[in-house]
Amino acid sequence: MWYSPDNEPKDKNFDNLEQASCPVCKVAFGKRDLGEIYTAHCYECRATFTWFPWKLEPRAVLDKDEERKRCGCSSCEAKRKSI
């Protein structure tokens, strides 16, 4: 989470930061705060990884699975049929 210098919390614990990386190919995403949700996309694996607060393992959603999600409206059904 981004904090401006003016309203940065005084009790922010920088010991809760860890390096987030892709669990498959080990590409580094950056630092994440263990107490907050962190999401990153890996272009090598074509997946989006989401770390939830205080969890060490991320949840993964593959890009191909994300494309299949449709709401069922006529516009989405037309897109699905054209694929």
Summarised one tens digit per residue, pLDDT across range 10-59 is 555 567 889 999 999 999 999 999 989 999 999 999 999 999 998 889 99
Q: What is the pTM of this model?
A: 0.63
State the residue range of the domain holding 26.
Answer: 14-82
| Domain membership flag for residue 8 | no
| Domain membership flag for residue 1 | no
What's the rounded Cα separation, in Å, for the pair 78 and 82?
A: 6
Structural domains counted in the chain: 1
| Domain membership flag for residue 64 | yes
| Domain membership flag for residue 9 | no
| Domain membership flag for residue 29 | yes
**Two structure tokens written together for 53:** 């607060």
| Domain membership flag for residue 2 | no
First-residue to last-residue Cα distance in the chain = 37
